[in-house]
Homo-oligomer: A and B are copies of this chain.
Amino acid sequence: MKGVYSYSMDNSLRILKEHDIRPTQQRLEVHLILLKQAKHLTAEEIYEKVKVKMPAISPATVYTILDLFKQKHVVNEIRIQFDKSCFEARIDPHHHFLCKHCRNIFDINIKPCPALETRTIEGNLIEELQGYFYGTCRKCLEKNDDKPV
């Protein structure tokens, strides 16, 4: 993660161009937000952030842009929460953890993960994978906060 992404509009511009995405203002803004945050944001959260700079934008536009970004592989969509999607600029396959207590979502590194290292399983071609872990995060364990929200 460190240094892989830098947070300038120039960078977003370059990345969009590299992926054959016409860089409109709205698309640049959405992409920059994801780059800057380096977090997992819902469409709603992204919409709220874009609206600060572009008050006229609509949620549907954000959804459309995220959909395009997904197809062009400039964002990763995760469905670790049942009721809504999150998006992130990190696109290399990696797993996620959702804490039942604090509801935080963060990346998980499984040391040698066979799932991440193979292209096929039992003859089936893997084009995408998602690993979701649910439980109690380290911080909440320390707080002895055992009951889920």
Residues from chain B with Cβ under 8 Å of A141 in the complex = 123-125
CB nearest neighbor in B for A129: B133
Say yes or no for A68: interface residue by CB 8 A criterion.
no
Residues from chain B with Cβ under 8 Å of A97 in the complex = 121, 124, 126
Say yes or no for A62: interface residue by CB 8 A criterion.
no
On whether the beta carbons of B125 and A135 are closer than 8 Å, the reply is yes
Copies of the chain in the assembly: 2
Say yes or no for A136: interface residue by CB 8 A criterion.
yes
CB nearest neighbor in B for A126: B135
On whether the beta carbons of A133 and B115 are closer than 8 Å, the reply is yes
**Contacting A126 at CB < 8 Å: which of B115, B122, B134?**
B134
On whether the beta carbons of B124 and A99 are closer than 8 Å, the reply is yes
CA distance A135 to B131 in the complex (A): 15
On whether the beta carbons of A121 and B134 are closer than 8 Å, the reply is no
CA distance A130 to B134 in the complex (A): 9
On whether the beta carbons of A109 and B122 are closer than 8 Å, the reply is yes
Residues from chain B with Cβ under 8 Å of A110 in the complex = 114-115, 121
Within A43-98, which residues are at the interface with B (CB < 8 Å)? 79, 82, 85, 95, 97
Within A100-149, which residues are at the interface with B (CB < 8 Å)? 100, 108-115, 121-138, 141
What residues of chain A have their CB less than 8 Å away from a CB belonging to chain B?
79, 82, 85, 95, 97, 99-100, 108-115, 121-138, 141
